[in-house]
Structure 1
Amino acid sequence: MARRIVRTAVQLGALSFLAFLLVALLDSRYRVLPNAIHNRLPQHHDQQIITDIEIASCLKILSGCKKEAPWYRIEKDLYLEEHWIHHAFVHVIRKHEKELTDNELVVLDVRLSRTQPEPEKEGELWEKRAGGIWILRGKLKHNAVTAVDVLFGPDAEDPRLDWKIKENPLRIGKEARLSVRIGSPDGTAEKHKTPKLRIGKTGKFKIIQVADLHLSTGVGECRDEWPVIKGTKCEADPRTLEFVGKILDEEKPDLAVLTGDQVNGESSPDSQTPLFKMADIFIKRGIPYATIYGNHDDEGSLKRHELMALTETLPLSLSEPGPETVPGVGNYHLQIMSHKADHPAATLYFLDTHSYSPDERNYPGYDWIKPEQVQWFLDERESLSARIKQYSGIHLQMAFIHIPLPEYTHKNVIVGEWREGVTAPRFNTNFSKALMDSGVGIVTCGHDHANDYCSLEKQDGHPRLWMCYGGGSGFGGYGGYNNYIRRIRMFEIDAPSGRISTWKRTESEDNGRLHEQVIVDGGKVTEA
């Protein structure tokens, strides 16, 4: 019996080893493993020196379209899978510094041009590659190219430290653009520092809620454009980001909260491109930002955990995936410290409202906050209570979600416009009661673009709660509903008075505050 067990174990071990070798071989040629696993393999480690760059094209019927080792393929079809016949991929050769020979050349710079770049120094020689790529190679220096990436569209941006997107697109593909990282070959280039949120000298802290940007790979198509700008073609993403940028410059918020559907998944075959455009607008202005996801973010090329993993690496990002034991991605909290001490003056909670109903037959429509998330919130609130008690002032609390709670359908006291039906989940896990009983004065969401109201929720035996909409900001998402004008919601915390006020700003040139109201005063929820 013992021999049989040993023999079986040896056979299973041998089969497992052979299976591993087979998968590794297939992955080296066709990339069959998921990104989460693939990127951890040694042959795909990115902290290396680039020694050459090339483009390989092939017919779709010829699977693989991959240059042989030592070439490594960047897994983005330059045609975004839209060409009927061809694939094309950027390939690089990359090596660890210790693997380089004394006379081996590395890539020092990359240009995109129809003609050979003029040499800036004597002896410079630009080498031509396919797709309009010119590379400058030389002996290893501290400023060598250490990574190459591909983004798409004339409005593409790369907000990562040490990365620079090239000014011209490749001459092959669908407005594909190279972005290169120049920095330390050992990967020790300076990483972004996580900003610390703090009440200002005036005792105030301003938050901008940006809901439903619906950014695309490329400029995107406008939906329900209003107002119509005569004589111009509406490009969704440039117009959206111009609007958001204008409000950022005028309001100068201390924090931006993006409450889902930053990425318009159905028009994002490369989700990294719209994600970077979203982050870039805040990074350029030095504004920290925190994100949660909606039902459209992960319908493109990246899933929720991949979007969050990428967002976490970007400068000024405060986004967190949250505990793996809690359903969803993006269940976390942030605290805003008092002006003079490291005691929290306010706590902001973020929860993932998921996407579509897992039980369409009984509860059609959208998903709901899970009981485990409600318990996580209650546990977080309890664990933070000791630290909160150290703050001598009034501690304020807010919550941010994407899909509205079922209680948003209650027609109590309303400030703002109710233009469309509330697409809340049919199943209710009573998160609103958990918020009320924990002293949270306001919860705000996105999802229903044309609704922008705040509704006062009243339930017997529970404190009151303001439930607000941010209002849709992006032209890549629907508008309509009686010529809806895109808008953004603002919140201002006044710590000394324990007050939270809110208003909206629209794309129209009124430069005024719409439906301004105080929702919490003296730490207590107001009537209106």
Structure 2
Amino acid sequence: MARRIVRTATQLAVLSFLAFLLVYLLDTRYRVLPNAIHNRLPTHHDQQIITDIEIASCFKLLSGCRKDSPWYRIEKDLYLEEHLVRHAFVHVIRKHEKELVGDEPVVLDIKVSRKQPAAVKDGEVWEQRTGGIWILRGKLRHNAVTAVEVLFGPDAEDPRLDWQIKDTPLRIGKEARLSVRIGSPDSTAEKHKKPKLRIGKSGKFKIIQVADLHLSTGVGDCRDEYPVMKNTKCEADPRTLEYVAKYLDEEKPDLAVLTGDQVNGESSPDAQTALFKMADLFIKRNIPYATIYGNHDDEGDLKRAELMKLTQTLPLSLSEPGPETVPGVGNYVVQIMSHKADHPAVTLYFLDSHSYTPDEKHYPGYDWIKPEQVKWFEDEHESLKPKIKQYSGIHLQMAFIHIPLPEYTHSKNPFVGQWREGVTAPRYNSNFSKALMDAGVGVVTCGHDHANDYCLLERQEGHPKLWMCYGGGAGFGGYGGYNNYIRRIRMFEIDAPSGRITTWKRTEVEDKGRLDEQIVVDSGKVQES
């Protein structure tokens, strides 16, 4: 009886696979699947060529604004769902190279302009499409258009390799812009490898913590602008990014850590646009970066897992979703190797502190690090010990979260910096601070409370000491209205030979160099500054 069941199950599995393979092959050649299914598939596929592009516009109540096969709809309403009565969507025809018939024309370039672009040398002509789009079509060559995306706003950026964003917005929609990929993504696969972090020749390694950028789709509105720039309208994102860029160029960090609320969800109907502006800051300067999420990141159109999946595809990103069995998205470890060998000199832990409480009645406010995450952290720390023993120097450890731990409220403990607002830590305490101390982590740093920028020394009997720091809010899209708060970022400098971690802050204006500089760890031991 058991053999018969196994044999039947095997036969069903084989038949299912063969049926799937047959449908797939037929669909590749003859498109037997319904167009509705095709349009739900990912927009971009390797080895595909764009052969045409068009915009379909319609009244919301009368049509779904979807062109029939073989058109594929890019699932972004050009009006960002804000038009009262109309929708508009970009559609493309895309084909695998083997599907092209004879000298079937493909799209070689795309421009957005009111006027017809100048003719090209080969006699190919520009063809006009809706919304100010002009396409150049001709015989297939290696630099044909292979993907099209839609981003929004006058400050939109596309940091991806081989993508070009069009400066001129479409004539339909809400500052909608086309971004175009030229050539096959296979040619840039090597460049997408995650960078390996290493202590420099000087023995030092510098980390910039950027907390609470609160970037929007478009330039965004400033909140609690200070100082007020006279005769200038405050645009949140340009001002924020210009300020952060200034210190990236001055401080020249080896790593950027973004500790949540990169995206201001409520003003980001297209979170991809906001995320790309963030990443572009670091990619342009060849700075690796790692991210975790806050309570606002996924309040736009993308959830945490989608944001992480997108971030992972970007150049220089070290971000990882972490184990699926552990609560949250973004529980992972990054190690910084010694200068000459692949031995970890520094271990960085990243944990998702989630968003809002799951139990408003008993623990109102914000969520907390879960017991399963604490266990994951302890297991990771234990599993890394054999690698760490290979390092002959003093091994250092840091941790990054978004929402502060309950111990950040211990106002009687020594602290350095400004405590301007109430600490919005969770009411439930999962004792993650004790796990950090017992593992020998010297510093944990967070964001979330924008106007707090202190480092507080946590002391508990029977446990090593721990510095708990804030990054300070960097973004003008988030609040900052506590006693004329000036936006800021936090720096950490690791001196591997001496086992030292030093930290300081840099402010947007009234720059006085290193603000509140302090040594938090020296010779591998937490210091009472």
TM-score > 0.5 by shorter chain: yes
In the alignment, which residue of structure 2 is the partner of 1:192? 192
Q: 1:27 is paired with a residue of what secondary structure?
A: helix
Q: Where do 1:247-266 residues align within 5 Å?
A: 247-266=247-266
1:431 aligns with 2:423: no
Q: Say whether the 8 Å CA contact 1:56–1:91 is kept in structure 2.
A: yes
How far does the alpha carbon of each residue in 1:41-71 deviate from its partner, in whole angstroms, 9 at most, with x for none? xx97454100000000000002411000000
Quote the Cα distance in structure 1 between the aligned partners of 2:220 and 2:414: 37
Contact 2:474 2:489 in 1 (8 A): yes
Measure the CA separation in 1 of the matches of 2:125 and 2:435: 67
Q: CA deviation at 1:185?
A: 7.4
Please give the residue correspondences for 1:117-132 in structure 2 after superposition, counting only pairs within 5 Å. 117-132=117-132
The answer to whether the 8 A contact 1:331-1:350 is kept is yes
Cα distance in 2, alignment partners of residues 493 and 205 from structure 1: 5
CA distance in 2, matches of 1:244, 1:379: 35
Determine the structure 1 residue equivalent to 2:167. 167
Contact 2:46 2:184 in 1 (8 A): no
> Structure 2: how far apart are the matches of 1:334 and 1:28?
39
Q: 1:435 to 1:486 in 2, by over 3 A?
A: same
Cα distance change of structure 1 residues 387 and 460 upon mapping to structure 2, 3 Å threshold: same
| Aligned partners of 1:419 and 1:451 also within 8 Å | yes
- Report the Cα distance in structure 2 between the residues aligned to 1:247 and 1:122, rounded to whole angstroms: 47
Q: Distance in 2 between matches of 1:307 and 1:365?
A: 24
2:524 maps to 1:515: no
AA in 2 matched with 1:50: I
Specify every segment of 5 or more residues in structure 2 that has no aligned partner in the other structure, as ranges.
1-7, 21-26, 28-32
- 8 Å contact kept, 1:151–1:178: yes
Shift of the 135–95 alpha-carbon distance from structure 1 to 2, 3 Å rule, reads: same
Equivalent residue pairs, number: 509
TM-score by length of 1: 0.93
Query: How does 1:102-117 map onto structure 2 within 5 Å?
Result: 102-117=102-117
Partners of 1:146 and 1:330 lie apart in 2 by 31
1:148-297 alignment to 2 at 5 Å?
A: 148-184=148-184, 190-297=190-297
Q: Distance in 2 between matches of 1:72 and 1:245?
A: 38
- Mean CA deviation greater in 368-377 or 190-199: 190-199
2:36 corresponding residue in structure 1: 27
1:492 alignment partner AA: E
- Distance in 1 between residues matched to 2:127 and 2:273, nearest whole Å: 28
1:52 is paired with a residue whose SS is strand
Q: Deviations over 1:74-124 (max 9, x none)?
A: 000000000001000000000000000112000000011100001131412
- TM-superposed deviation, 1:190: 4.8
The amino acid across from 1:416 in the alignment is G
Q: Give, in whole Å, the separation in 1 of the partners of 2:45 and 2:201.
A: 45
Structure 1 pair 143–26 and aligned structure 2 pair: CA distance change class (3 A): closer
Change (3 A) 1:98 1:190: farther
* Pairwise CA distance, 1:356: 0.4
- Cα deviation for residue 28 of structure 1 reads 3.5
Flag structure 1 segments of 5+ consecutive residues without an equivalent: 1-5
Q: Distance in 2 between matches of 1:47 and 1:353?
A: 39
Letter in 1 for 2:301: S
1:363 paired residue number: 363
- 1:352 CA displacement: 0.1
Tell me by how many angstroms 1:373 deviates.
0.3
Deviation at 1:27, TM superposition (A): 3.2
Q: Provide the C-alpha distance between the structure 1 equivalents of 2:37 and 2:315, rounded to a whole number of angstroms.
A: 32
Aligned partner of residue 448 in structure 1, secondary structure:
coil
Quickly say closer, same or farther: Cα 1:231–1:264, change in 2 above 3 A.
same
Q: Distance in 2 between matches of 1:27 and 1:188?
A: 31
Aligned to 1:3: none
Q: What residue is the counterpart of 2:477 in the other structure?
A: 476
Which one-letter code corresponds to 2:497 in the other structure? P
Q: 1:61 to 1:253 in 2, by over 3 A?
A: same
Task: Rate the CA distance shift 1:287–1:128 in 2: closer, same or farther, 3 A.
Answer: same
Task: Check the 8 A contact 1:297/1:304 in 2, yes or no.
Answer: yes
Structure 1 residue matching 2:521: 3-state secondary structure: strand
Instruction: Tell me if structure 1 keeps the 8 A contact 2:217–2:274.
Output: yes
**Kept in 1: contact 2:67–2:91 (CA 8 A):** yes
Q: Partners in 1 of 2:191 and 2:99 — Cα distance?
A: 25
Structure 1 partner of 2:527? 526
1:377, CA displacement in angstroms?
A: 0.3
Instruction: Specify whether residues 409 and 186 from structure 1 end up closer, same or farther in structure 2 by C-alpha distance, changes over 3 A only.
Output: closer
1:502 corresponds to: 503
State the alpha-carbon separation in 1 of the partners of residues 129 and 417 from structure 2: 57
Counterparts of 2:328 and 2:379, CA distance in 1: 17
Q: Which amino acid aligns with 1:488?
A: I
Alpha-carbon contact 1:48-1:186 (below 8 Å) kept? no
Cα pair 2:161 2:188 within 8 Å, conserved: no
Residue in 1 aligned with 2:487?
Answer: 486
Pairwise CA RMSD: 2.4
Measured after TM superposition, the shift of residue 192 of structure 1 is 1.4
Offset, 1:169: 0.5
Partners of 1:144 and 1:189 lie apart in 2 by 18
- Do the aligned residues in 1 keep the contact of 2:164 with 2:179 (CA within 8 Å)? yes
The aligned counterpart of 2:144 is 144
Structure 1 residue matching 2:382: 3-state secondary structure = helix
CA distance in structure 2 between the partners assigned to 1:415 and 1:493 by the alignment: 19
Which residue does the alignment assign to 2:56? Answer: 56
Deviations 1:421-457 (A, max 9, x none): 0000011100000000000001000000000000000
1:388-424 per-position Cα deviation (integer Å, ceiling 9, x unaligned): 0111100000000000000000010010000000000
Contact kept in structure 2, 1:46 and 1:147, CA below 8 Å: no
